[in-house]
Structure 1
Amino acid sequence: MKIYTDLKDFSAINPVVTIGTFDGVHLGHRKVIRRLQELAQKVKGETVIFTFYPHPRLVLNPEDNGLRLINTLEEKKVLLEAAGIDHLVVYPFTKEFSKLTYVEFVEQILVKQLGMKYLVVGYDHRFGHNREGKYEDLKMFADKLNFKIERQDVLNMDAINVSSTKVRTAISEGDIQMANKYLGYRFFIKGDVIDGKKLGHTIGFPTANIDPQESYKLVPKDGVYAVKVDVDDKIYLGMLNIGVRPTVNNQLDNRSIEVHILDFNQDIYYKNITIHFYQRIRNEQFFASLDELKAQLAKDRLKVLSLLG
């Protein structure tokens, strides 16, 4: 997959294009991508995803600190390449760019600069200034600009429309199994292992503290999770805690992500590792003593083994 941040470098044969943030690259997105690939094969062309960075909300509402995304940009690149996309345009989103009308955007960028031959849009996709560009409007001048357009219907699972919003909600509520069902893969967090207080060593459950690196990366609801951990391309079982560690932490506003990797004793400080989430197994709890905490962690280990081992 070729990646572009400057359209001066862009070159593709009969580009078949779709546009969006593609947060999660979930099964609904995959449906659009499959259609993109079918059309590209039909017109002997190449697939192009046109996305934006930073996320439009970060630019248009910088005071809104509540935005959390399923994927970082780097994670999204990996997922789209695995999906078989030929070209990824990561277009710089600015306030100036946001003022383009949908007509200007399509004509000046998609047609003149990309040479778009086919446009595939999602069932509710709108773009241009104030999201004024609708499918019906685009269809009216597609012939004039010499491109074809097609709309993909929503993907339904269990009578529910699959969307990034629904995936984000499931992750935020700790319903990892539902999120994974909609994603079509295990939700994951990539991050560096950073220094912690090393209290886990004293009770026989050493943990690696994870820094997700991007402040907008969505982190699941507080609690204990059954996970698999990718360290140097090797997979290990793990139990992960998200929260404030009330038994050992006096700073209850200090939220952390800590993973205990089962049957593992390597030094991985400052390494980048990947956590794949499988299931939330309990709430974070306060224990009256370290012995009680240790006993519960032993139960958590057995639970992880029964689920994943």
Structure 2
Amino acid sequence: MNSYPSIYDFSTHKKTVFTLGTFDGVHLGHTKIIERLLNSSNEEEESLVLTFFPHPRMVLQKESDIQLLNTIEERIYLLEKAGLQNLIIHPFDQTFSRLTAEEFVKNILVDIFNIKKIIIGHDHRFGRNRTANIDDLIRFGKDYNFEVEQISAQEVDAVSISSTKIRNALAEGKIELANEYLGYSYFLTGTVIPGKKLGRTIGFPTANLKIEENYKLIPAQGVYAVTCLVGTKSVYGMLNIGTNPTVFGQTISIEVHLFDFNADLYHQKITVSVLKRIRDEQKFASIDDLKTQLSKDQIFAQHFFE
């Protein structure tokens, strides 16, 4: 897949079949749209997706505390996996938001993208203050000689409902339900940093994961069965998201204990795929009680993987 950091870095002599959107989560609803995009293009045309970062709400609604299912790097990875030819991640800003509908169509879709066809939701609004709608786009299509294919209300609703259900499921710790809607296991990508090193004193050393992107949605606090990608190696383990109340922790940490693994992971980037919720985080009466429960958690997780 070709990836471009701006609209103005893209150029082609071929016609393009195009769609745009945030594609947060790149879930089953999104992949259906991408499949339609790919099926609508042939060897003489290129498939093209335009997405934005930062998310428009981060720019236009500064007070918005938006949580996203993917970091931008994760979104790129998932879109490439879906089979796209070209992806533009354009930096959304106030200047871009002030483009009129016709400026967007003429200067970008026609002059830069060489558009043959756009696949778009029936309720899509665009241009300055989002004043233009699908009828305006169809009219522009006639004026500038490109086709407009509408995504039905039912499909648009399915995408929106799925995104909401995924976020709600993750917030409630219903990881298997979230994964069902996603079509893959929800994952967290971060760098391993030094922690308090308490886990190793009770036989359960953990890798403390730091996720730089504060907009990444973290599942509900609790203990989960996970797989962890370390380099090219996949390792089973269990993940704790929480404050470690038994040892009077104050801040939320993300810690993964890997089974049968003993390498130094400090400062390495790892990816943790969350598969099964084991239990809520609990405060135990003693460290021994915590250690006993962790042993039970590991047995549960190992049986799950078997």
TM-score, structure 2 as length reference: 0.94
Q: Is the 8 A contact 1:155 1:162 kept in 2?
A: no
- Check if 1:164 corresponds to 2:151: no
Where in structure 2 are the equivalents of 1:106-125 lying within 5 Å? 106-125=105-124
Q: Separation in 2 of the partners of 1:281 and 1:160?
A: 29
The DSSP-based 3-state class of the residue aligned with 1:144 is helix
- Which residue does the alignment assign to 2:38? 37
Q: Is the 8 A contact 1:239 1:301 kept in 2?
A: yes
Unmatched runs of 5 consecutive residues or more in structure 2: none
- Which residue does the alignment assign to 1:222? 221
Q: Separation in 2 of the partners of 1:118 and 1:293?
A: 59
- Which residue does the alignment assign to 1:271? 268
Unmatched runs of 5 consecutive residues or more in structure 1: none
Q: Separation in 2 of the partners of 1:271 and 1:104?
A: 45
Q: Separation in 1 of the partners of 2:191 and 2:44?
A: 42
Q: Separation in 1 of the partners of 2:132 and 2:295?
A: 56
- Which residue does the alignment assign to 2:179? 180
Q: How many Å apart are 1:278 and its aligned residue?
A: 0.5
Where in structure 2 are the equivalents of 1:39-58 lying within 5 Å? 39-41=40-42, 44-58=44-58
The code of the aligned residue for 1:10 comes to: F
The DSSP-based 3-state class of the residue aligned with 1:235 is strand
Please, which moves more after superposition, 284-293 or 9-18? Answer: 9-18
Q: How many Å apart are 1:86 and its aligned residue?
A: 0.7
Q: Is the 8 A contact 1:14 1:45 kept in 2?
A: yes
Cα deviations across residues 258-305 of structure 1 (Å, max 9, x unaligned)? Answer: 011111111111110000011111111000100100111011101111
The DSSP-based 3-state class of the residue aligned with 1:247 is helix
- Check if 1:60 corresponds to 2:70: no
Q: Is the 8 A contact 2:121 2:156 kept in 1?
A: no
Q: Separation in 1 of the partners of 2:72 and 2:111?
A: 26
The code of the aligned residue for 2:245 comes to: P
Cα deviations across residues 171-191 of structure 1 (Å, max 9, x unaligned)? Answer: 122111111111111110111
Q: Separation in 2 of the partners of 1:20 and 1:280?
A: 31
Where in structure 2 are the equivalents of 1:71-220 lying within 5 Å? 71-153=70-152, 154-155=154-155, 162-220=161-219
Q: Is the 8 A contact 1:227 1:275 kept in 2?
A: yes
Greater fraction helix: 2
The code of the aligned residue for 1:174 comes to: G
Q: Separation in 1 of the partners of 2:247 and 2:123?
A: 48
Q: How many Å apart are 1:240 and its aligned residue?
A: 0.4
- Which residue does the alignment assign to 1:18? 19
